[in-house]
């Protein structure tokens, strides 16, 4: 396995780059921060063309590029079309230890970065992040994927290591998994363990509640030459669009039966100072909510008494419908009979009047008959 490390200047570039692409609302090291809503369970999601057109707001917050997301048979597709485009979605909940598994196909393209990130709280949006461990794929690197992490935004840490992925990460879906515990962080590529970092090792270990981010962005458009070089070169927008496809994601919170996480004030950033509030979180309630049932499932879920009642009601409704039809039929029949009798009577009157007129017309001035009339004749009368 060919492993590529990142040292010196490049690592500093990665750190500052990551801080520029991530931000949170509060830094518990410097101020009192509100509690973080927990997941407290396991959440999983798979995307395809029948999925809702937008990410579920109960679980996701799209911080950029919502209009650049589309649901297709292949999964959730994030697409960059023009300079300045970026797509980022983050969970609306936090996990405190845990595991994330994502299946995605990285975007191709020089300067294009596909990423999965864990990130904890930090107030300064342009400063370095507090804790970060991630999986990143460069669009121009068709053989390796990066693993990286930082503790409390320490840019002196040289933590990025690139591992080979076959076939290339841009050619098909691959499964990436990050397992994060009090003892170690492990990175898995397609069920193969590629890296382990221990809590006991030097440097500040990521250890505070984190939310999960996934996204696609252009590092090749940076105004920092070192960042552009790290990304493989300037982004070539004449080759757009650049698309990242996420098929599925599974997130497991290491703390179960947790509704929220709170930092001590002031906090030193250690996991021992995190308070876990027990209970069921809103995210857990939504995640464990049963899916909508079909009509067949609803019927099978009814009691026998309810089914009998519904069947009796249906029979009663059908009987009433039948009686209404019979009543309407006979009513219309009676009305039709009356109309026919009236029409026959009118015809008889008109026929009698016609016969009388013909008889009168056939007499001379002395009352003698000039015409022989046969009422059954259909041809004109014959004159003598």
Q: Which two tokens stand for residue 188?
A: 């898995």
Q: Which two tokens stand for residue 375?
A: 């009422």
Per the CB < 8 A criterion, the answer to whether 189 and 196 are in contact is no
**277 part of the active site:** no
Angle 334-340-342 from CA coordinates, rounded to 5°: 105
Cis bond before residue 222 (omega within 30° of 0): no
Q: Which two tokens stand for residue 166?
A: 């076959």
**365 part of the active site:** no
Catalytic residue among 57, 99, 101, 136: 136
Residues with Cβ within 8 Å of residue 201, at least 6 apart in sequence: none
Residues with Cβ within 8 Å of residue 256, at least 6 apart in sequence: 40, 41
> How distant is the alpha carbon of residue 363 from its chain centre?
98
The CA distances from residue 328 to 311, 333, 335, in Å, are 26, 8, 10
User: Can you tell me whether residue 310 is helix, strand or coil?
Assistant: helix
Backbone dihedral angles phi then psi of residue 146, each to the nearest 5 degrees:
-90, 145
Angle 371-376-377 from CA coordinates, rounded to 5°: 60
DSSP assignments along 298-336, one per residue:
HHHTS-HHHHHHHHHHHHHHHHHHHHHHHHHHHHHHHHH
Catalytic residue among 125, 183, 285, 353: 125
Q: Which two tokens stand for residue 324?
A: 């209404």
Per the CB < 8 A criterion, the answer to whether 119 and 22 are in contact is yes
E strand map for 152-256:
161-164, 174-180, 184-189, 192-198, 210-218, 242-253
CB atoms closer than 10 angstroms to residue 50: 7
Question: Distance between CA atoms of 79 and 112, rounded to whole angstroms?
Answer: 11
Per the CB < 8 A criterion, the answer to whether 237 and 141 are in contact is no
Q: Measuring CA to CA, which residue among 355, 356, 360 is closest to residue 370?
A: 360
Positions annotated as catalytic residues are 125, 136
């Amino acid at each position: 396995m060919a492993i590529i490390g990142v040292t010196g200047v490049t690592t500093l570039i990665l750190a500052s780059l990551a801080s520029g692409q991530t931000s949170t609302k509060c830094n518990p090291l410097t101020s009192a921060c509100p509690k973080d809503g927990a997941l407290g369970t396991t959440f999983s999601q798979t995307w395809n063309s029948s999925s809702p057109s937008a990410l579920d707001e109960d679980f996701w917050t799209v911080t950029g590029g919502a209009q650049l997301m589309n649901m297709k048979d292949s999964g959730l597709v994030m697409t960059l079309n023009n300079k300045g485009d970026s797509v980022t979605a983050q969970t609306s909940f936090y996990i405190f230890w845990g595991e994330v598994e994502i299946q995605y196909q990285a975007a191709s393209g020089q300067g294009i970065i596909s990423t999965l990130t864990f990130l904890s709280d930090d107030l300064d949006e342009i400063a370095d992040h507090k804790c970060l461990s991630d999986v990143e794929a460069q669009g121009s690197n068709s053989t390796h994927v990066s693993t990286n992490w930082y503790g409390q935004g320490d840019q002196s840490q040289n933590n990025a290591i690139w591992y080979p992925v076959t076939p290339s990460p841009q050619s098909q879906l691959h499964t990436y998994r990050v397992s994060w515990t009090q003892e170690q962080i492990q990175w898995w590529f397609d069920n193969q363990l590629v890296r382990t970092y221990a809590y006991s090792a030097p440097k500040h270990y990521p250890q505070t509640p984190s939310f999960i981010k996934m996204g696609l962005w252009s590092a090749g458009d940076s105004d920092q030459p070192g960042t552009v070089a790290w990304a493989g070169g300037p982004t070539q927008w004449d080759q757009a669009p650049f698309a990242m496809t996420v098929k599925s994601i599974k997130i497991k919170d290491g703390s179960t039966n947790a509704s929220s996480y709170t930092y001590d004030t002031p906090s030193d950033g250690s996991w021992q100072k995190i308070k876990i509030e027990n209970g069921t979180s809103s995210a857990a309630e939504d995640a464990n909510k049963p899916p909508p049932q079909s009509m067949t499932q609803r019927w099978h879920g009814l009691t026998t008494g309810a089914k009998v009642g519904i069947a009796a009601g249906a029979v009663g409704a059908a009987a009433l419908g039948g009686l209404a039809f019979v009543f309407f039929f006979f009513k219309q029949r009676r009305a039709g009979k009356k109309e026919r009798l009236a029409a026959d009577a009118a015809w008889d009157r008109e026929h009698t009047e016609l016969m009388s007129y013909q008889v009168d017309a056939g007499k001379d001035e002395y009352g003698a008959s000039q015409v022989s009339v046969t009422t059954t004749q259909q041809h004109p009368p014959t004159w003598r």
